Each structure stands twice: as C-alpha cells, then as structure tokens.
Amino acid sequence: MRKKLIAANWKMNGGLVANRDLTQAILKGVPENASSVVLCVPFPYLAQVGAMLQGSSIALGAQNSSEYGSGAYTGEVEAGMLVELGCSYVILGHSERRVLFGETDDQVAAKVVKALAAGLRPIVCVGESELERAGGKTKEVVERQLEAVLDVMPDVGRASLIVAYEPVWAIGTGRSASPEDAQEVHLHIRGLLQRRFGTDARGVPLLYGGSVKPANASALFAKPDIDGGLIGGASLVAGDFLAICAAGDLMN
Ligand code: 13P
C-alpha cells in the first residue's frame, strides 16, 4: 500500500498570527512516521510558514503558479519563485481557479509543464460539477481535464505528478463523495494513467478532496486507489487536520 499523502489547502485564509498558531500546532502534533504532509498556503505567507517548517518532515506548497516564465506578467507568480521560497509542491487546476477565474484545461496543462520544469510536484485537480455528475459525465470530464495535462507533460514528469480528484459538489459542502464512488473514479484515473505510463502509473499518488473530515478520512483512505487527501476547511483546524493525518497513517 502506498504511503498516504495529506495536503492542506488553506485557500485564501490566514494571517500572520493565525498561521503561526496553526503551523505550530501541526508541527507539534504530526505523528512520528507520519503520512507525508504538505501545507499549501497563500503566496504572501510562504516565507513565514516555510521558515517554521524548516528541519521538519512537513513540506511546503503553493496554490497556483503561472504558465509563463518570468517577465511582464503583472500579478503572476512564476514556479521558480516558489522553489526559491522552499516550495516543493503546487496545487494546479483547482476547481475554484477553473470556475471563478476561468482557467482552461490548456492553461492548467501549461502551468503543469512550467511547474515540473522548475522542479515542483504539481497536484493536478480534476473533478466534475453536480450537473455533470447528474448527466453521467463524471469520467468523461475527469478524463478530458487529465488528458490535456498528459498530452503535453514530458515523460520525466511521471515521477512527480500527483492527481487530486475533487468533485466540485463535494468541496466545502460537507457532502463528501462516498468512499465507493470516490474509489470508482480513482480506479478510472489509474486506468487512464496506466494506458499512458504502463506500470509507472502505480506510483502516481491519487488524492481525494471534497469535505474530508476526521469522521470520513479512514473510510476514504482504506480504498485501494485513494492514496491520500487534499484537505480544505478541515486543514484550518489543527485538531481536525492532525486527526486526518493520523487516519492516513493507520493505512500505511
Ligand atoms: P473542503 O475540504 O473544504 O471541502 O475543500 C476541499 C478542497 O477544495 C481542497 O482543495
């Protein structure tokens, strides 16, 4: 069984004092031999949280990066800048970026290419809306989103790629996908990766995201193709996040 990877997505939350308290509590509470843990924090706080994580087993990540190299792109953040600040992960193609900021499949794919070139591990988010699920289009949507990335990604990126299945209707709603439904989509994603990567597909961590809480984490992580979680709301509450990390360890 793959070691679980638990990534926190703080989204646009936090502040200097709150970040310090939350990071301290997480550092204190992460169990020994813990699942791999990543904190993806807002850009302005990367340096603060990165400094606190130094020397620990917890990794730092960002929540977006540009499809461009450095240059005249006001307001954008280049992948190499994130590496300089100590990031080793970056979330790309989150549904909030796709829906609220109009990111396209091609843009997400270009971001992945740049992130990989900079040495980051991209956490590529895919997932269907409620309407798409109701229309029986879940697998088709996930496939389209992922294939856009796989079509342009260099072969060497295989070892770094992480995929997060996040059904849009489950994000922030308290209504997680059932472990069975999530497993079904994860298995489909695994199959898709297998067609491209052969046996290397087994090494690609597939995370589930969408209302993961201490109460449902163990059941989700018990599924064979769910290799960890991408945690939103519960990652802002130290006790909840730690409980989810502990649930990840139980399944090692
Ligand atoms: P919630 O855990 O708050 O549902 O958010 C999930 C998510 O979007 C993580 O990227």
pLDDT of residue 34: 65
* Contacting residues for 15 by C-beta, under 8 A, at least 6 apart: none
Q: Consecutive 10-residue runs of the chain (252 residues): their mean pLDDT? A: 85 98 96 81 98 95 97 98 98 98 98 98 98 97 98 95 98 95 98 95 96 97 96 98 88 52
Q: Is 188 a catalytic residue?
A: no
Q: Are 221 and 249 in contact (CB under 8 A)?
A: no
Q: How far apart are the first and last CA of the chain?
A: 6
- Crossing angle for the helix pair 16-29 and 46-53, to the nearest 10 degrees: 30
Alpha helices in the chain (DSSP H): 16-29, 46-53, 79-84, 95-101, 105-118, 130-134, 138-152, 179-197, 214-221, 238-250
Q: Is 94 a catalytic residue?
A: yes
CATH of domain 5-247: 3.20.20.70
Which residue puts its alpha carbon closest to atom 5 of ligand 1? 232
pLDDT of residue 1: 47
Q: Domains of the chain: which residue ranges?
A: 5-247
Whether the model pTM is above 0.85: yes
Q: Are 167 and 128 in contact (CB under 8 A)?
A: yes
pLDDT of residue 2: 57
* Contacting residues for 213 by C-beta, under 8 A, at least 6 apart: 174, 176, 234, 240, 244
pLDDT of residue 250: 59
Angstrom distance (rounded) from CA 110 to CA 61: 18
107 alpha carbon – ligand 1 mean position (Å): 22
Cβ < 6 A, ligand 1 pocket:
9, 94, 166, 171-172, 209-212, 230-234
pLDDT of residue 32: 65
Which residue puts its alpha carbon closest to atom 9 of ligand 1? 232
129 alpha carbon – ligand 1 mean position (Å): 14
7 alpha carbon – ligand 1 mean position (Å): 10
